[in-house]
Amino acid sequence: MPELPEVETVRRGLEKLIVGKTIISATNDNHKSFPNEPTEVSEFMLSTTPTAVRRRAKVLLIDLSSKYTLVIHLKMTGQMVFVANDSDRFSAGHPSDSMLGELPDKSTRVIITFSDGSKLFFNDQRKFGWMRLMPTISVPEIDFMKRVGPEPLEHSFTAKILFERLQRRKNSSIKSALLDQSVVAGIGNIYADESLWGAQIHPATHVGTISFSKIKILTTEIKTVLQLAIDKGGSTDRNYRNAEGKKGSYLAFARVFRREGQECPRCGTIIEKIRTAGRGTHFCPTCQVERKTK
């Protein structure tokens, strides 16, 4: 579920909420969600302080004063939700309907408690997500980190770079290639569909048939869509919540994602939903015409 804008939104929230606090306990209901040994957790996590919250692709990195890092992947349904202690919550006012209910709930896998009584909940309905404690210096050695492509919102990410990196996937569909994290970091199903609509490229188009000038447009669309989504606090289709338990609002601005049967905002044609690269794929059959030529 969470793609780059959602993970970035969580990162910004956690940076504000937990940096400088002291961890006093970490309870774990699911070995797969957090497989570190209790002795490791005790030695390198308890009595330490989060010093920074970083993001690479869809991976969240909480650096601790012990020189260890909590590496977190939310996968489809993971959430990192911070809850202040009870007296703070009381003074914070009425709960909004965009908030989660009481925590912990049945999806709660890990609870991190800070010395001021506040808590950080790692919830994950489908148990695909995970967190791992490891030395900060080892994080770049994770296979995923070595393979993952450039950050699309960096200024150094250009059409030339995207075009070059796409060459390794020139025989697959552009949709499949955009979902490949080794081509470009952080794009998932929502923002792949939205970017391809913006660039007027049919999702099933073979990468090798797309011109450089079209990739230039796609590069701009990727940046624009991701930035807008961050500005809207990400997309909440069902599960996603930010670090304060609130939903994101990007889907109200989506042009094709989850809009099958509705009119294309550019040409009025009815949006279709197909399966491409094994994923639900939304597009406008009129303005995203399949390109067979170079």
HSE value, Cβ hemisphere, 13 Å, CA-based, for 31: 2
Between residues 56 and 214, which has the closer beta carbon with respect to DNA? Answer: 56
Burial classification of residue 278, based on how many CB atoms lie within 10 Å of its CB (0-12 exposed, 13-18 middle, 19 or more buried): exposed
Q: Which of 135, 170, 212, 262 contacts DNA by CB under 7 A? A: 170
Least gap, CB of 46 to DNA (angstroms) = 27
- The Cα angle at residue 223 between residues 217 and 226, in degrees rounded to 5: 130
Catalytic residue among 58, 109, 241, 246: 58
3-state helix, strand, coil in the chain (%, to 5): 30, 20, 45
Q: Is 58 among the residues that bind DNA (CB under 7 A)?
A: yes
| 195-218 per-residue burial string, b: 16 or more CB within 10 A, e: under 16 | bbbbbbbbbbbbbeebeeebbbbb
Task: Report the alpha-carbon distance of residue 1 to residue 78 in Å, rounded.
Answer: 8
Between residues 113 and 244, which has the closer beta carbon with respect to DNA? Answer: 244
Cβ–Cβ under 8 Å, residues 220 and 247: no
Task: Report the alpha-carbon distance of residue 261 to residue 138 in Å, rounded.
Answer: 48
Least gap, CB of 65 to DNA (angstroms) = 27
**Binding residues among 87-126 for DNA as defined by CB under 7 A:** 106-107, 125-126
Catalytic residue among 260, 279, 285, 291: 279
Q: Is 175 a catalytic residue?
A: no
By rule CB under 7 A, what string of x and - marks binding of each residue 206-245 to DNA? -----------------------------xxxxxx-----
Q: Is 279 a catalytic residue?
A: yes
**Binding residues among 250-289 for DNA as defined by CB under 7 A:** 277-280
Q: Is 58 a catalytic residue?
A: yes
Active site residues: 2-3, 58, 279
Site residues, DNA (CB under 7 A): 1-3, 6, 32, 57-59, 73, 75-76, 106-107, 125-128, 143-144, 168-173, 176, 179, 181, 188-190, 235-240, 277-280
